[in-house]
């Protein structure tokens, strides 16, 4: 078989485009933050991860301008060899201090940080990587790349059952999202930490959606619960609240030193560009000196969430600026998105494998850069839509976990192996 035949036989996107409901790769030709221009029309952006609305903050924009003047457009090499800037070092030092860790390590993207770090640590002798079934894809990919053993759990009861196979799990790392990216739900970190204290595994917290949002000045999910000291490695990205691109891991000095010299996605990939590094650093400064930004964010979140729930949308228990609207069938979600766009609203649909089959959502998010008029306009559009296409009266609280079948099958086999408990 020609190895390219899956490409030549791939029809899904063309079918989607033919129906007129294709919502992906929309071309944005300009942006002022809340308002973006798409296909020559101005629409309200309600589908970003710009949680603090900082992409157009004057200090962030100026820092990026200054960086391009000082360093040029790119590093053209990896930090390991020839692309390590004083700006990277400064950002790392400030992130370590901000998160209360000994050291931090900056990567060119969040995905590269997760894949590289978990890919390396999961490959240690006899290691087992435990993943939550609705973790981000990059955690799954890192675990896969490690060639280590993977176990997947659906909730804390399930994790406890699996851990109870052995009295101690010092050879295991549990890697979880602090805030689940599609539903905005916060992980039950207290319970996870209690299990950690009992079974002795290492904890890797992907706080992509909690960093810059939860906790004191946005220090993240663990800090918001007083559990920072129980997290062995914290990860966050710059591509959301920090209004840039890139990511970091932070932890104990020997761990970061080992990662710095061994993670392949750091060593073999070009350094984070000066503009992005400077923008992330400036955003970190804004977070620390403007507490009003968090007040405005939570005020807007409360206003919008109250509004959509009053219209009859179920928001799946989100406690963050991510406001998912449960729609149910995939076809209906495509239709909602298309019509929302025609009425002036940019939203994004989320389907399997990001959410379980038959539980598609429209993922909206609110930022402090939205005005009340913007949000009221969005609510008016969502009211029109729910009147046009009423939603079924099912209970999305019973939402099953989203699971990518192939990896779950693999992990289940690993756990069902009678030798598993003996070998690990
Ligand atoms: C939970 C989570 N982890 C990691 C990432 C990857 O981050 P980045 O976009 O910086 O590569 C994302 C991005 O969507 C995410 O949602």
Reading the block at residue 424, the tokens are 């690990």
Q: How far apart are CA 105 and CA 91, in angstroms?
A: 9
Alpha-carbon distance 393 to 355, whole Å?
A: 19
Phi and psi, residue 177, nearest 5° = -75, 135
Kindly give the number of the ligand 1 atom that is closest to the alpha carbon of 112: 11
Residue closest via CA to ligand 1's atom 16 equals 181
Which atom of ligand 1 lies at the shortest distance from residue 181's CA?
16
41 CA to centre of ligand 1 in angstroms:
29
| DSSP-derived secondary structure letter, 3 | T
Q: What atom in ligand 1 is closest to the CA of residue 245?
A: 10
Any ligand 1 atom below 6 A from CB of 177:
yes
**Each residue's pLDDT tens digit, 202-235:** 999 999 999 999 999 999 999 999 999 999 999 9
Q: Is 135 in the pocket of ligand 1 (CB under 6 A)?
A: no
DSSP H helices in 32-136: 58-71, 86-99, 110-121
- Span 175-197, pLDDT tens digits: 999 999 998 999 999 999 999 99
CA of 53 to the centre of ligand 1 (A): 17
> Which pLDDT score is estimated for 417?
56
Per-residue pLDDT at 114 = 98
In this predicted model, what pLDDT tens digit does every residue of 273-301 receive, in sequence order? Answer: 999 999 999 999 999 999 999 999 999 99
Q: Decide whether any atom of ligand 1 lies within 6 Å of the 119 Cβ.
A: no
Helices and strands per DSSP (H, E), number in the chain: 17, 14
Q: Is 111 exposed, middle or buried (0-12, 13-18, 19+ CB in 10 A)?
A: buried
Question: For residues 351 and 353, what is the distance between their CA atoms, to the nearest angstrom?
Answer: 6
Please give the structure tokens belonging to residue 388.
């046009």
What pLDDT does residue 424 have? Answer: 44
- List the alpha helices (DSSP H) in 147-291: 156-163, 189-199, 221-224, 253-262, 264-267, 274-289
This model's pTM is above 0.85: yes
Distance of CA 208 from the midpoint of ligand 1 (Å): 6
Residue among 131, 140, 181 whose CB has most ligand 1 atoms within 8 A, to mutate: 181
Q: 269 Cβ partners below 8 Å, 6+ apart? A: 78, 107, 108, 112
pLDDT band at 422 (very low <50, low <70, confident <90, very high): very low
Structural tokens at position 313? 């949308």
135, 154 Cβ separation under 8 angstroms: no
Q: How far apart are CA 180 and CA 388, in angstroms?
A: 30
Q: Is the CB of 114 under 6 A from ligand 1?
A: yes
């Amino acid at each position: 078989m020609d190895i390219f035949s899956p490409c030549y036989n791939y029809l899904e996107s063309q079918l989607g485009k033919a129906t007129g409901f294709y919502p992906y790769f929309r071309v944005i030709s300009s942006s002022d933050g809340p308002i973006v221009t798409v296909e020559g029309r101005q629409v309200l952006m309600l589908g970003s991860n710009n949680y603090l609305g900082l992409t157009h903050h004057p200090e962030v924009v100026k820092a990026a301008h200054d960086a391009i003047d000082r360093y040029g457009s790119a590093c053209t090499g990896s930090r390991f060899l020839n692309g390590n800037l004083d700006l990277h070092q400064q950002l790392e030092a400030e992130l370590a201090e901000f998160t209360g860790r000994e050291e931090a390590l900056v990567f060119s993207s969040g995905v590269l940080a997760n894949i590289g770090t978990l890919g390396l640590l999961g490959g240690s002798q006899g290691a087992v990587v435990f993943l939550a079934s609705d973790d981000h894809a990059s955690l799954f990919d890192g675990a896969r790349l490690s060639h280590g053993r993977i176990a997947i759990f659906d909730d804390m009861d399930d994790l406890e059952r699996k851990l109870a196979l052995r009295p101690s799990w010092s050879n295991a790392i549990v890697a979880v999202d602090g805030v689940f990216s599609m539903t905005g739900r916060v992980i039950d970190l207290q319970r996870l930490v209690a299990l950690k204290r009992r079974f002795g595994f290492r904890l890797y917290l992907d706080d992509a959606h909690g960093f810059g949002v939860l906790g004191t000045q946005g220090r993240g999910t663990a800090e918001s619960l007083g559990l920072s000291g129980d997290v062995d490695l914290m990860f966050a990205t710059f591509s959301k609240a920090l209004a840039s691109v890139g990511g970091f891991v932070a932890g104990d000095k020997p761990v970061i030193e080992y990662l710095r010299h061994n993670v392949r996605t750091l060593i073999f990939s070009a350094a984070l560009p000066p503009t992005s590094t400077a923008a992330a650093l400036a955003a970190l400064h804004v977070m620390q000196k403007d507490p009003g930004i968090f007040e405005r964010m939570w005020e807007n979140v409360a206003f919008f969430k109250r509004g959509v729930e009053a219209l009859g949308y179920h928001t799946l228990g989100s406690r963050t600026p991510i406001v998912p609207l449960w729609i149910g069938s995939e076809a209906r979600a495509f239709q909602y998105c298309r019509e929302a766009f025609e009425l002036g609203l940019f939203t994004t649909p989320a389907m399997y494998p990001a959410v379980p089959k038959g539980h598609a959502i429209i993922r909206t998010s609110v930022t402090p850069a939205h005005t009340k008029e913007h949000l009221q306009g969005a609510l008016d559009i969502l009211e029109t839509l729910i009147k046009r296409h009423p939603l079924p009266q099912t209970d999305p609280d019973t939402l099953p976990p989203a699971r990518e079948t192939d990896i779950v099958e693999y992990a289940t086999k690993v756990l069902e192996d009678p030798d598993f408990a003996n070998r690990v």
